[in-house]
């Protein structure tokens, strides 16, 4: 469920007409719903009650600090994968003690930043990282709380580019080597082993891979405890999928996911962490764009929008589907025709959909891409020298621009001319 609904024929974000935002902000832009973010976060934390737990929002899915502030105010922790994301979490008012640092390539500068600024834990992904963290922590006279990310070799049955739990993926250590790596961690200065981390992939639409992985984690927890490790926290990652297409069969709900965690891991008495991103932010956002031209092709009509692959790369990168709807609701029974929906970037890959049925649209009409809140704005670029587009947050009857569109002059001014060129006539 989200809060982007038609009211009297006009698409609204909560209680704000989307066309009114477009008139003030210009297109294209991203729009996020506070009510949807709130509801989706609460579904996760309710699903884990009464187990001790922390829901850490995966900042990589949507990193605007206003969104992080909304979730932080609700009690969310944050899962970060870079020093920049760590600083964004702090800027949003989230304390370091509620920030989990994940990722395979943490630098020593990032480790130092988190140890000095406060950190809940590092999810360590390799022996090399473990040794580096011990060195940094010891130099600072700090103790680094860690989990070790294990790779359970479980097929998440998701897109190959977002699967992370198979043995050929770059993430974590093989689960069959866990004992020796935990023994190494326990021997190092500056390291406090507190738990286990696992994450098998993103956009999972079936609970079976989670169940397989979590049974392996339960067995590993018992074994590591027998070996003398005080395993008291389990970080289970994120990955629960959202319905990008209305035709999808019903997907598992957070309540189903919570029940699975309780059934497979509840007997261990561990604090549970989860790191959802997409399911909190995905349906909480839309991308709004304007039709520039309707072009008749050879047996196919093209809807050319002012949004492009640099604004929303998921269809080009993953072949991802987004429902695309008119901002002005079509009349009941109105005929549709197929459009190839494309952007203005000089790439054939700048295609959002092929032969997508829509009612007749003309230049100037507005359309909205649904379920665009996750991995939309965060993956945007300035390809073709197109400025990053605005982000807007709606709360009831109010909306605010939470990232403005830079001018062309501001974008170009970031470049610097070398002295030997600037002195040439």
Every domain of the chain and the residues it spans: 4-31+282-413, 103-274
Residue 228 zone, left/alpha/beta (φ > 0; ψ -120 to 50; rest): left
Beta bridge partners of 305: 291
* pLDDT number for residue 379: 97
In words, the CATH class of domain 103-274 is alpha beta
* pLDDT number for residue 377: 98
> Active site includes 346?
yes
Listed residue (303, 293, 319, 287) closest to 357, CA to CA: 303
Q: How far apart are CA 389 and CA 286, in angstroms?
A: 13
* pLDDT number for residue 203: 83
* pLDDT number for residue 155: 63
* pLDDT number for residue 170: 52
* pLDDT number for residue 166: 41
Spans in the chain with pLDDT lower than 70: 1, 155-171, 246-249, 424-425
Q: How far apart are CA 207 and CA 98, in angstroms?
A: 27
* pLDDT number for residue 299: 81
CATH homologous superfamily for the domain 4-31+282-413: Lyase, Ornithine Decarboxylase; Chain A, domain 1 (2.40.37.10)
* pLDDT number for residue 266: 96
* pLDDT number for residue 243: 81
Of the listed 31, 56, 270, 346, which one is catalytic?
A: 346
Main-chain phi, psi angles of 337, to 5 degrees: -145, 155
* pLDDT number for residue 247: 58
């Amino acid at each position: 469920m989200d809060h982007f609904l038609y009211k009297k024929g006009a698409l609204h974000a909560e209680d704000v007409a989307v066309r009114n935002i477009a008139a003030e902000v210009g297109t294209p832009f991203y729009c996020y719903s506070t009510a949807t973010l709130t509801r989706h976060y609460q579904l996760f934390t309710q699903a884990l009650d009464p187990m001790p737990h922390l829901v850490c929002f995966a900042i990589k899915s949507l990193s605007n600090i206003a969104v992080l502030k909304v979730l932080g105010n609700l009690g969310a922790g944050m899962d970060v994968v870079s020093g920049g994301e760590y600083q964004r979490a702090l800027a949003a008012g989230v304390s370091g003690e509620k920030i989990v640092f994940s990722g395979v390539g943490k630098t020593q500068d990032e480790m130092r930043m988190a140890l000095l600024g406060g950190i809940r834990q590092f999810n360590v992904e390799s022996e090399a990282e473990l040794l580096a963290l011990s060195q940094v922590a010891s130099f600072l006279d700090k103790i680094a709380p860690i989990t070790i990310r294990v790779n359970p070799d479980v097929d998440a049955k998701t897109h190959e580019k977002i699967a992370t739990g198979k043995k050929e993926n770059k993430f974590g250590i093989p689960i069959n080597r866990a004992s020796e790596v935990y023994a190494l961690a326990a021997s190092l200065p500056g390291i406090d082993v507190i738990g286990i981390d696992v994450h098998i992939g993103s956009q999972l639409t079936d609970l079976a891979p989670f169940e397989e992985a979590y049974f392996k984690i339960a067995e590993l927890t018992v074994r590591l405890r027998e070996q003398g490790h005080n395993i008291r926290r389990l970080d289970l990652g994120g990955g629960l999928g959202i319905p990008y297409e209305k035709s999808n069969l019903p997907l598992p709900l957070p309540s189903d996911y919570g029940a699975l965690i309780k059934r497979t891991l509840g007997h261990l008495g561990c604090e549970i962490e989860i790191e959802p991103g997409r399911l909190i932010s995905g349906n909480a956002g839309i991308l709004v764009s304007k039709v520039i031209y309707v072009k008749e092709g050879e047996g196919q009509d093209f809807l050319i929008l002012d949004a492009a692959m640099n604004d929303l790369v998921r269809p080009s990168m993953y072949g991802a589907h987004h429902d695309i709807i008119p901002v002005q609701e079509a009349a009941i029974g109105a005929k549709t025709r197929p459009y190839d929906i494309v952007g203005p970037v000089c790439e054939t890959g700048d295609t959002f959909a092929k032969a997508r049925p829509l009612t007749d649209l003309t230049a100037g009409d507005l359309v909205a891409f649904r379920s665009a809140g996750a991995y939309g704005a965060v993956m945007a670029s300035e390809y073709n020298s197109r400025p990053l587009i605005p982000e807007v947050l709606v709360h009831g009857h109010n909306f605010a621009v939470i990232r403005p569109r830079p001018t062309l002059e501001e974008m170009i001014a970031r470049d610097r001319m070398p002295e030997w060129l600037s002195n040439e006539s």
